[in-house]
Amino acid sequence: MKIFWQIVKRHPISIAIYLLYISFAYLVIIAKWRFTRALPQIHGGEKLAWGEGVMYGILFLSFTAILFASIILIFSCFDKGPKKFYWWLLLAIIMPIALWFSI
């Protein structure tokens, strides 16, 4: 527990960015799920608009994942603290993308 609080005290910005990213990933996954459920009732241009919105969401999600992973790897290169924290955080950033493609 002591190690956890040391990590929280030393890296609040990384943790806040990660929580923001996870909340956005959750919203994009929910939007895709709702889109696939509503697909039979959507016709014509509405289907195109919904698909376009979901597509832009996943592109933004992928871009932010790459950006945040790069930032975290840079932090881990200069930090003398527990490096396992950064590797687990990097894995957690990649997991929503894997979840997206598995749906």
- What is the per-residue pLDDT for 100? 63
- What is the per-residue pLDDT for 25? 73
Q: What is the rounded distance in angstroms from the CA atom of residue 69 to the CA atom of residue 89?
A: 8
Q: Which residue stretches of the chain have pLDDT < 50?
A: none
- What is the per-residue pLDDT for 12? 76
- What is the per-residue pLDDT for 101? 67
- What is the per-residue pLDDT for 2? 76
Helical pair 12-38 and 83-102, crossing angle rounded to 10 deg: 10
User: Per residue, what are the HEC states of 40-70?
Assistant: HHCCCHHHHHHHHHHHHHHHHHHHHHHHHHH
Domain ranges of the chain: 15-102
- What is the per-residue pLDDT for 50? 73
pTM above 0.75, yes or no: no
